């Protein structure tokens, strides 16, 4: 029997509850910021960093350990996302942190974790970053880690494997790590985790004529160089790397607004003689505290924060929900966003030296790395509230157009950051290390250009072609920064429609059919993060509020208001909480596809509100 439709009055009530809840979360300065939840490696590495620096203290240790224990699963493991499988490196880091915190290796939770670790290859099978942390304390040999020499900083920007061939997050991590690795420090851990080793030898080299085999053999040469460096050149390189790091410290004390370069820069500077009370390190450590959440006897660390992104999405949601542009809530947000405009040159200028600055970053303080995705979404939001000649918007549009890559697409932070050679290095066994164009970012730019009246011009036409050329065979689009094909499709379809493609275009029809095929029996949509590695999970997973909203945004843009769309709307209304938001423990954000995932706590509210608003407006 066909389920009854939900009346517009009921949907409007759900929309109003969501509006009220979202407005209640706004800061008095005009911004929104939901928690950005990741996994316990952030907390384990924070504890280990404090052990290395000699600043670990009992209360913070106990609170961190309590959080790590609370996230352990029944099988003794820790995962990288809610509901995901146990992950070896994450479990090794969590186990190590808990042992440092005083947990007995004979405790049941430690025994279960250790058994999983040994069954899955032990420390020997962990990622390079985990083994670097263990090497810092003598629990792993620096000789058994890949070498990245500090002399990399001297490579010109046209030369393969220069630091600007790496994505911005990767280069900011690699530069300090070249210093740390060259110094090969060892400090007391206070305990040993040798019980996590299996004693298995290293894997044999790949064939010499393969890229992997070539770089494995090159790494052996670099190890020889590391033991007998040309001392004046080594010292010059380290000093240049130090200068590069110091020039990129942000106003909040961090680097790039994200945990890895922040922590490794602290370690590098300290190893080079900066005392902890030096203004640079004092500011860096204080900034980390602003990324710390403390509640109910636990302490956890956000890998980064997303106020600018969250505020742009919240503004769009409220506008789509019918809030007038001159409402004080939106005016406050608009003014705050204008104040956050980036007007200085950052690393992006290496590839675009003649492009004037503009746009926005993700964080409160991240002026060195504005990003195209934030900028496109903010322009889309501000354009609906500000005069047509607003200078900040004009600068942002010009900067975004200038950041188009040669292939016609847009990436998040850099242009033409597409050399894949870095991915072949033995060091690079975790996370994306380059920043090529992606469907979701390109779609947001194309949509922005369309709303600016620029969809007929060459940059937009090239972006549209890029999107059409990169549609998957099944009709979906890959999602780089959100999970996964639902996110990509939910971004691309509204952009193509805004840019003038008719709803009967074959690409649109294929995407609609894909969404229809992947709707869950309950009416919602979900895609498990395992889809990044296992194609059997593409478009498949528990229904979530954010992913259901993404699917609805695509369907509504495509003119689909039939049974499939109604079932999705009905699912959102039925699962809304009394306070106006939705439960969503699942992670639907992506940091590094296949490796690092994010639960943006505001996604569960802003995207459903946008979908409800657009449904009622149609």
pLDDT (tens digit, 9 = 90+) per residue, 135-176?
Answer: 999 999 999 999 899 999 999 999 999 999 999 999 999 999
Specify the higher pLDDT residue, 581 or 425: 581
pTM of the model: 0.95
Query: Does residue 444 have a pLDDT over 80?
Result: yes
Res 286: pLDDT: 96
What percent of the chain is modeled with pLDDT above 90?
Answer: 90
At 1, the pLDDT band (50, 70, 90 cuts) reads very low
Chain mean pLDDT for the chain: 95
Res 2: pLDDT: 47
What average pLDDT does this structure show over 68-91? 97
pLDDT (tens digit, 9 = 90+) per residue, 458-494?
Answer: 999 999 999 999 999 999 999 999 999 999 999 999 9
Query: Does residue 345 have a pLDDT over 80?
Result: yes
**How many whole angstroms separate alpha carbon 427 and alpha carbon 423?**
9
What average pLDDT does this structure show over 261-272? 97
In this structure, how many other beta carbons lie within 10 angstroms of the beta carbon of residue 373? 27
Do 305 and 291 meet the contact criterion of CB atoms below 8 Å apart? yes
Query: Does residue 227 have a pLDDT over 90?
Result: no
In this structure, how many other beta carbons lie within 10 angstroms of the beta carbon of residue 197? 15
What average pLDDT does this structure show over 331-359? 97
Res 206: pLDDT: 81
pLDDT (tens digit, 9 = 90+) per residue, 490-543?
Answer: 999 999 999 999 999 999 999 999 999 999 999 999 999 999 999 999 999 999
Res 618: pLDDT: 80
State the pairing for strand pair 298-301/292-295. Answer: antiparallel
Measured CA to CA in angstroms, residue 444 lies from 267, 372, 380, 481, 610 at distances of 37, 9, 9, 12, 15
**How many whole angstroms separate alpha carbon 40 and alpha carbon 595?**
13
Do 152-182+202-301 and 39-145 fall under one CATH topology? yes
**How many whole angstroms separate alpha carbon 451 and alpha carbon 501?**
14
Measured CA to CA in angstroms, residue 500 lies from 94, 173, 377, 397, 493 at distances of 51, 41, 19, 19, 11
**How many whole angstroms separate alpha carbon 429 and alpha carbon 466?**
29
Do 33 and 606 meet the contact criterion of CB atoms below 8 Å apart? no
Query: Does residue 120 have a pLDDT over 60?
Result: yes
Res 210: pLDDT: 80
Q: What is the 3-state secondary structure (H, E, C) of 326-377?
A: CCHHHHHHHHHHHHCCCCCCCHHHHCCCCCCCCCECCCCCCCCCCEHHHHHH
Do 399 and 348 meet the contact criterion of CB atoms below 8 Å apart? no
Under CATH, which number does the domain 152-182+202-301 receive?
1.50.10.20
Nearest C-alpha neighbor of 480 from the set 440, 448, 446, 443: 440
Res 516: pLDDT: 98
What average pLDDT does this structure show over 341-350? 96
Domain 39-145 CATH (choose: 1.10.357.10, 3.40.190.290, 3.20.20.70, 1.50.10.20): 1.50.10.20
The residue extents of the domains of the chain are 8-36+304-403+438-617, 39-145, 152-182+202-301
pLDDT (tens digit, 9 = 90+) per residue, 29-74?
Answer: 999 999 999 999 999 999 999 999 999 999 999 999 999 999 999 9
Measured CA to CA in angstroms, residue 359 lies from 9, 366, 498 at distances of 39, 12, 22
Helix (H) or strand (E) holding 223: helix 211-227
pLDDT (tens digit, 9 = 90+) per residue, 364-418?
Answer: 999 999 999 999 999 999 999 998 789 999 999 999 999 999 999 999 999 999 9
What percent of the chain is modeled with pLDDT above 70?
Answer: 99
Nearest C-alpha neighbor of 508 from the set 538, 477, 539: 477
**How many whole angstroms separate alpha carbon 4 and alpha carbon 483?**
30
Torsion of CA 502, 505, 508, 512, to 10 degrees: 100
Res 134: pLDDT: 98
Do 519 and 564 meet the contact criterion of CB atoms below 8 Å apart? yes
**How many whole angstroms separate alpha carbon 111 and alpha carbon 142?**
28
Q: Does domain 8-36+304-403+438-617 have CATH number 1.50.10.20?
A: yes
Bridge-partner residues for 301, per DSSP? 292
Do 561 and 499 meet the contact criterion of CB atoms below 8 Å apart? no
Res 182: pLDDT: 94
**How many whole angstroms separate alpha carbon 315 and alpha carbon 147?**
46
Nearest C-alpha neighbor of 45 from the set 36, 37, 56: 56
At 4, the pLDDT band (50, 70, 90 cuts) reads low
In this structure, how many other beta carbons lie within 10 angstroms of the beta carbon of residue 21? 18
Measured CA to CA in angstroms, residue 63 lies from 69, 297, 396, 556, 612 at distances of 10, 6, 43, 46, 40
Q: What is the 3-state secondary structure (H, E, C) of 8-63?
A: HHHHHHHHHHHHHHHHHCCCCCCCCCCCEECCCHHHHHHHHHHHHHCCCCHHHHHH
Q: State the catalytic residues.
A: 373
Rg of the chain taking only CA atoms, in angstroms = 24
In this structure, how many other beta carbons lie within 10 angstroms of the beta carbon of residue 390? 16
Query: Does residue 19 have a pLDDT over 90?
Result: yes
Query: Does residue 546 have a pLDDT over 90?
Result: yes
How big is the CA angle at 420 (ends 405 and 474), to the nearest 5 degrees? 70
């Amino acid at each position: 029997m066909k389920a009854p439709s939900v009346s517009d009055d009921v949907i409007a009530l759900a929309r109003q509850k969501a509006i009220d809840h979202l407005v209640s979360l706004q800061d008095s300065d005009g911004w929104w910021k939901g928690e950005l939840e990741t996994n316990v490696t952030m907390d384990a590495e924070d504890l280990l960093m404090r052990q290395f620096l000699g600043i670990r203290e009992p209360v913070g240790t106990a609170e961190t350990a309590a959080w790590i224990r609370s996230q352990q699963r029944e099988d003794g493991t820790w995962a990288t996302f809610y509901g995901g499988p146990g992950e070896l490196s994450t479990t090794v880091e969590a186990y190590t942190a808990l042992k440092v915190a005083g947990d007995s290796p004979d405790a049941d939770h430690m025994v279960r974790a250790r058994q999983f670790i040994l069954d899955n290859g032990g420390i020997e099978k962990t990622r390079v970053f985990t083994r670097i942390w263990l090497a810092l304390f003598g629990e792993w040999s620096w000789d058994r880690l890949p070498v990245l020499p500090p002399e990399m900083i001297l490579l010109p920007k046209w030369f393969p494997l220069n630091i600007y061939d790496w994505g911005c997050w990767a280069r900011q991590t690699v530069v300090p790590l070249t210093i740390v690795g060259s110094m090969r420090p060892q400090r007391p851990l206070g305990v040993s985790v040798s019980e996590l080793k299996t004693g298995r030898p290293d894997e044999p080299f790949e064939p010499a004529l393969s890229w992997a085999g070539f770089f494995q053999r090159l790494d052996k040469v670099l190890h020889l160089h590391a033991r007998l460096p040309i001392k004046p050149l080594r010292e010059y390189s380290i000093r240049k790397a130090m200068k590069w790091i110091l020039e990129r410290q942000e106003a909040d004390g961090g680097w790039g607004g994200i945990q890895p370069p922040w922590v490794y820069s602290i370690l590098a500077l300290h190893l080079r003689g900066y005392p902890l009370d030096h203004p640079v390190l004092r500011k860096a450590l204080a900034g980390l505290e602003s990324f710390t959440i403390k509640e109910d006897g636990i302490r956890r660390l956000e890998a980064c924060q997303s106020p600018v992104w969250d505020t742009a999405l919240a503004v769009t949601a409220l506008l789509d929900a019918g809030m007038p542009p001159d409402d004080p809530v939106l005016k406050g947000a608009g003014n705050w966003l204008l104040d956050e405009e980036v007007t200085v040159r950052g690393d992006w200028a290496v590839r675009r030296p003649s492009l004037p600055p503009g746009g926005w970053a993700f964080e409160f303080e991240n002026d060195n790395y504005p990003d195209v995705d934030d900028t496109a979404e903010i322009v889309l939001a501000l354009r609906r509230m500000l005069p047509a000649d607003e200078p900040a918007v004009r600068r942002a549009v010009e900067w975004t157009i200038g950041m188009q890559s040669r292939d016609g697409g847009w990436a998040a932070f850099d242009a033409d950051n597409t050399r894949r050679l870095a991915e072949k290095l033995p060091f690079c066994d975790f996370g994306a290390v380059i920043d090529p164009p992606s469907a979701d970012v390109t779609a947001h730019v194309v949509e922005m250009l369309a709303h600016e009246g620029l969809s007929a011009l060459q940059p937009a036409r090239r972006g549209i072609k890029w999107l059409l050329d990169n549609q998957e065979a099944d009709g979906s689009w890959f999602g780089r920064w959100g999970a996964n094909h639902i996110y990509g499709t939910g971004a691309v379809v509204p952009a193509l429609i805004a840019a003038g493609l008719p709803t009967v275009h074959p690409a649109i029809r294929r995407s609609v059919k894909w969404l229809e095929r992947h709707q869950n029996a309950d009416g919602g949509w979900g895609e498990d993060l395992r889809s990044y590695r296992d194609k059997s999970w593409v478009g498949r997973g528990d229904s979530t509020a954010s992913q259901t909203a993404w699917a609805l945004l695509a369907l509504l843009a495509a003119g689909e208001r039939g049974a499939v769309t109604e079932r999705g709307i009905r699912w959102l209304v039925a699962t809304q909480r009394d306070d106006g938001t939705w439960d969503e423990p699942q992670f639907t954000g992506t940091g590094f596809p296949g490796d690092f995932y994010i639960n943006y706590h505001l996604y569960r509210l802003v995207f459903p509100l946008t979908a409800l608003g657009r449904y009622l407006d149609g």
